[in-house]
Amino acid sequence: MNFDLSDEQKMLAEQMRGLLGKRATPQRLRSLIDAGQEWDEPLWRELGELGFLGAAVPDVYGGLGLSELDLGVISEELGRVNAAVPFFSSVVLAADAIGLAGTQAQKARYLPGIASGETVATFAYAEGSAGWSDPAVHAVLEDGRLTGTKSPVADAGVAGLAVVLAKAGGRLALAVVELEQPGVLRTKLESFDQLRAHYSLRFENAAATPLEGAAAARVMPMLMDRAAVQAAFEGVGGAEACLHMARDYAAGRKIFGRSLDSYQAIKHKLADILVGVELARSSAYYAGWAAVTGAEDLPTSASAARLMAIDAFERAARENIQVHGGIGYTFDANCHFYYRRERTLALSLGGRERWADRLIAHMPGRQGQGNARGREAA
């Protein structure tokens, strides 16, 4: 038993924290929003040059070949600063989808570009609802041509590629689609998160390359579990940032003749947030380990990590603004970045209800049983 990150993983976290502390500052985030930028392109390039974007891509495909836990460390640090980069779309979802569902030749074709950051990819599974099982998917893939609408799709404005979930011959299928082609219409949506743009993608007979290494129906649950683990790490990073921000603000604020952080109303609120963060972190560690080892309980542990992270980040993001008081409602304070990101993260793979269903359906002794939703979630 050893329930801690390795020294190398701790160093990786330090390295990320050092870099992001300099580059992804709140001032930088504000200037991106003011300039109407959808991403922090220089930061993305730098992450690519340092190898972080290929952390979990096998070295034969141009990555570092590190584990899902290493990737988790990176996700957590990106979450901590609310970085405006399409890491979750490109690295966590699209690259993993290609890694799980692609043939060797397809991996060799797409992964090196994603690993270096040269190519930005995104993952288009949703069609309005967050469902990713059979009845929720209507886009049709036929003879290398894709028709249908996927929405919302994160980072589709800056992505060159999308991995798209569709149906081929009535079965789930995954295909890679170049977004720069006549059959693709991108419509920008009004995103709640000002630092993560979302699009509606309309495909009309667009050229698409089906991923043929493994069946999409088998890949999708695994892909979503593994992404849920990374989202949990990202949420833990964001939640902890909110906790520290609230603590530091309260320490410097005087009210009724004493510092705000000397009040139990504040101390207890922050203690509860800390409990949530530490429990969520523990769940993320375990689920990350389950992803690394391909443990049987990945579906339950990933679902659990997701539920814990949503709870922790939700509370931390809300109470951070509350502790800040009026200043927390201003654009110049930094709370709002997290308040918006939290909702995006909580909903982007489907919210609590879906993951609760998935957890229940995969509880020991219940495999294959459960309610209608549970079966769908399986």
Which residue ranges make up the site for other proteins (CB under 8 A)? 1-6, 9, 69, 243, 247, 250-251, 259, 261-262, 264, 266-268, 270-272, 274-275, 278-280, 282-283, 285-286, 288-289, 292, 300-301, 303-305, 307-308, 311, 352-353, 355-357, 359-360, 363-366, 369-374
Q: Which is nearer to other proteins, 11 or 189 (CB)?
A: 11
Q: Which is nearer to other proteins, 76 or 193 (CB)?
A: 76
Enumerate residues 6+ apart whose C-beta is below 8 A from 111: 54, 57, 58, 61, 62, 63, 95, 98, 99, 102
- To the nearest whole angstrom, how small is the minimum distance from the Cβ of residue 258 to other proteins? 8
Do the beta carbons of residue 153 and residue 124 sit within 8 Å?
Answer: yes
DSSP, collapsed to helix, strand or coil, labels residue 37 as coil
Return the H-helix or E-strand segment holding 165: strand 161-168
d(CA 74, CA 24): 14
Q: What sign for the dihedral angle of Cα 214, 216, 221, 224?
A: positive
d(CA 115, CA 262): 47
- To the nearest whole angstrom, how small is the minimum distance from the Cβ of residue 20 to other proteins? 22
Do the beta carbons of residue 197 and residue 191 sit within 8 Å?
Answer: yes
Q: Which is nearer to other proteins, 81 or 307 (CB)?
A: 307
Q: Which is nearer to other proteins, 182 or 365 (CB)?
A: 365
Q: Which is nearer to other proteins, 281 or 341 (CB)?
A: 281
- To the nearest whole angstrom, how small is the minimum distance from the Cβ of residue 1 to other proteins? 5
- To the nearest whole angstrom, how small is the minimum distance from the Cβ of residue 4 to other proteins? 5
Strand 140-142 vs strand 145-154: parallel, antiparallel, or unpaired? antiparallel
Q: Which is nearer to other proteins, 170 or 364 (CB)?
A: 364
- To the nearest whole angstrom, how small is the minimum distance from the Cβ of residue 45 to other proteins? 31
Q: In sequence order, what DSSP letters do the residues of 346-368 get, joined into one string?
A: HHHT--HHHHHHHHHHTSTT-TT
- To the nearest whole angstrom, how small is the minimum distance from the Cβ of residue 371 to other proteins? 5
